[in-house]
Amino acid sequence: MSSADVRPRGAFRAGLVLGVLVLVLQLAVLVALPFAVRPLAGALPAPVPGGSGAPVGQGTDGVGDPYFPDYGAGGYDAQRYAVDVSWNPADARLTGRTVVTARATQPLTGFSLDLALTVTAVRVDGRPATFRTDGFQDLRITPASTIPTGATFRVEVEYGGRPATISRDGIRPFSITGDEVLVAGEPESSAWWFPANDHPSDPALMDVTARVPTGWQAVSTGALAGHTADPVRGQDVWHWVSDRPSATYLSFLALGRFEVRQGTADGRPYVYAVSRRLSAGERRRAFAQLERTPQVIRVLEGLFGPYPFGQIGGLVPAARLWFDGLETQTRPVYAAGAMTRGDAGELLSHELSHMWFGDNVTLAQWNDIFDNEAWASWGAWAYRERTGGPTAEQQFLELYGRAEDSTRFWRVGLLDPGRDHLFDVVYLRGPMTLQALRNRMGDAAFLAMARDWAQTPGTRSLENWMVTTQHAADRSGSGVDLTSFFQAWLVTPAAPARTVANGFPR
């Protein structure tokens, strides 16, 4: 994600964003790699049957994320979501039927899905199941019989509602702009349009069918598998299918009247879509930026290895977004203003870097946000370096020079920034940390580590990354011990000293 308020480098063109960094954070000084600050989270611990007050056999509500403890669910591994939704613009109502395919990781007499809409029916493996809604979006389901450990099961949920009227803690990812609909957001958005295990630690395949009024378009992630007309119902039916697992927040749905361009670039099919609510000139400028996507990906492949997905593209809706860009898998969502005013190369390179960092490699828990945003921001720096702009080293030293004496800027630790600081300091401190690490490890070892990490799909934590990085340094033969480096850049709430050990030039 690129924040509209705090985005890589762009924020510094208007001066350092310091006023928002007010969290008072006290972290212990550690004598080894700073793993003791948080639980090791290579993957979130499997829920213990009967844990968190749940009866034996009940999957937990929430995966125990330290920032969002009720997000997701325990007891199973989601494998595929087959989402089929219809949109009625007359009453702004969405109705849906979603089939969730999952594998039980414990005996299940009950389990949860996350959904904020009203449920009318649930079936498990074709048999009616009882259900209830707890809290904001926890759908508790009791199947007709216990699901044994290791069994693959199918949950069919029928539901509906007016998602644009629903907000949670100020989060409102479902928006209507005129006759155009968009649901996209981070850290959550799926609960507004389909039931899911809504946590990035459990990515799954996506299969989305959207039924919209005749003449409308429906755009989502993955490959466009079909577009047909249903004149009896007065609908167009659009079908999108992913071939790689996706975290739930990395899917989006846009409904309305879009100008859609399709083709193939570098052997990959692309779909670019721009809202027809924008003027002809704005659409032209937006498409000119979107069509830079293959070139940006080629540069990033030189850094991070082969692009990890089979499709590319982008969406520019009319909605007023709180972010400039969101790394929805294969097809980022970009704010119209950011794509129609000036050069969007920095935004494109940031969001497309996320295809490696955040999409191919996903978060174990939300306090691992460094793994996503630090790398995407550094990717934008490196893209500028490789396309005739300032080097990443120049950007690092300029930024550090501006921020060195600001106590407030350094007060939030990157290892555990806190829920209220997920999307601010990491965009600036994150790429500084990585460029300093590049200096400390040496260019070859650093880029080899980046490629190895980015090319291995799965769910991993920041602690995993620190261990991987130290191993990469060991393999390089440099003898670099990164303990003090991680302490200085990720833990200590103060500006790292200008030393070679901290990654500064001699």
pLDDT reading at 43 higher than 90: no
pLDDT reading at 28 higher than 60: no
pLDDT reading at 32 higher than 60: no
Q: Is 365 helix (H, G, I), strand (E, B) or coil?
A: coil
Same domain, yes or no, for 420 and 308?
no
The tokens for 415 are: 């290892």
What pLDDT is recorded for position 55? 58
- Assigned domain for 34 exists: yes
471 is in an annotated binding site: no
Same domain, yes or no, for 319 and 181?
yes
What pLDDT is recorded for position 56? 66
197, 47 Cβ separation under 8 angstroms = no
**CATH number of 262's domain:** 2.60.40.1730
Q: How many CB atoms lie within 10 A of CB 388?
A: 6
- Assigned domain for 107 exists: yes
116, 192 Cβ separation under 8 angstroms = yes
Q: How far is CA 345 from the centre of its chain?
A: 20
- Residue 37 vs residue 389, higher pLDDT: 389
- Assigned domain for 382 exists: no
Same domain, yes or no, for 197 and 128?
yes
Alpha-carbon span 52 to 492, nearest angstrom:
33
Same domain, yes or no, for 74 and 138?
yes
What pLDDT is recorded for position 2? 81
Distance set, CA 71 to CA 51, 136, 227, 382, 394 (Å) = 16, 11, 33, 34, 40
pLDDT reading at 46 higher than 90: no
What pLDDT is recorded for position 3? 67
User: With pLDDT > 70 as the criterion, what percentage of the chain qualifies?
Assistant: 89
Q: Write the pLDDT tens digit of every residue in 75-114.
A: 999 999 999 999 999 999 999 999 999 999 999 999 999 9
Q: Write the pLDDT tens digit of every residue in 266-280.
A: 999 999 999 999 999
Q: How would you list the strands of the sheet with 130-134, edge to edge?
A: 111-114, 138-142, 130-134
Instruction: Quickly tell me which residue has 């707890």 as its tokens.
Output: 134
pLDDT reading at 5 higher than 80: no
The tokens for 273 are: 């879509």
Same domain, yes or no, for 278 and 164?
yes
What pLDDT is recorded for position 160? 98
Same domain, yes or no, for 35 and 81?
no
What pLDDT is recorded for position 57? 84
CB contact burial 347-386 (16+ within 10 A = b; e otherwise): bbbbbbbbbbbbbbbbbbbbbbbbbbbbbbbbbbbbbbbe
Q: What is the mean pLDDT of the chain?
A: 90
pLDDT reading at 40 higher than 80: no
199 is in an annotated binding site: no
248, 185 Cβ separation under 8 angstroms = no
User: What is the model's pTM?
Assistant: 0.91
According to DSSP, the β-strands at 268-275 and 312-316 are parallel
Q: What number is the average pLDDT over the span 197-205? A: 98
What pLDDT is recorded for position 4? 57
pLDDT reading at 285 higher than 90: yes
pLDDT reading at 175 higher than 80: yes
Same domain, yes or no, for 236 and 359?
yes
Q: What number is the average pLDDT over the span 241-253? A: 98
What's the domain range around 99? 60-363
pLDDT reading at 24 higher than 50: no
Of 327, 348, 363, which residue sits at a domain end?
363
Instruction: Quickly tell me which residue has 């209507």 as its tokens.
Output: 176
373 is in an annotated binding site: yes
Same domain, yes or no, for 76 and 34?
no
pLDDT reading at 17 higher than 70: no
In single-letter form, the type of residue at position 406 comes to S
Bridge partners of 355, per DSSP, are none
- Assigned domain for 418 exists: yes
Name the residue among 231, 286, 237 with its Cα closest to residue 259: 286
- Assigned domain for 246 exists: yes
- Assigned domain for 320 exists: yes
User: With pLDDT > 90 as the criterion, what percentage of the chain qualifies?
Assistant: 86
Q: Write the pLDDT tens digit of every residue in 421-440.
A: 999 999 999 999 999 999 99
Same domain, yes or no, for 183 and 231?
yes
Q: What number is the average pLDDT over the span 445-450? A: 97
Gap between the terminal Cα atoms of the chain: 34
Alpha-carbon span 272 to 266, nearest angstrom:
15
Of 363, 378, 409, which residue sits at a domain end?
363
Same domain, yes or no, for 35 and 66?
no
Same domain, yes or no, for 265 and 127?
yes
pLDDT reading at 13 higher than 50: no
What pLDDT is recorded for position 330? 98
Q: How confident is the model at residue 188 (pLDDT cuts 50, 70, 90)?
A: very high
Name the residue among 427, 416, 323, 430 with its Cα closest to residue 365: 416
Q: In total, how many domains does the chain have? A: 2
Same domain, yes or no, for 36 and 77?
no
What pLDDT is recorded for position 134? 86
Q: Write the pLDDT tens digit of every residue in 349-379.
A: 999 999 999 999 999 999 999 999 999 999 9
- Assigned domain for 380 exists: no
90 burial level (CB within 10 Å; 0-12, 13-18, 19+) = exposed
What pLDDT is recorded for position 49? 34
pLDDT reading at 240 higher than 80: yes
Alpha-carbon span 506 to 503, nearest angstrom:
9
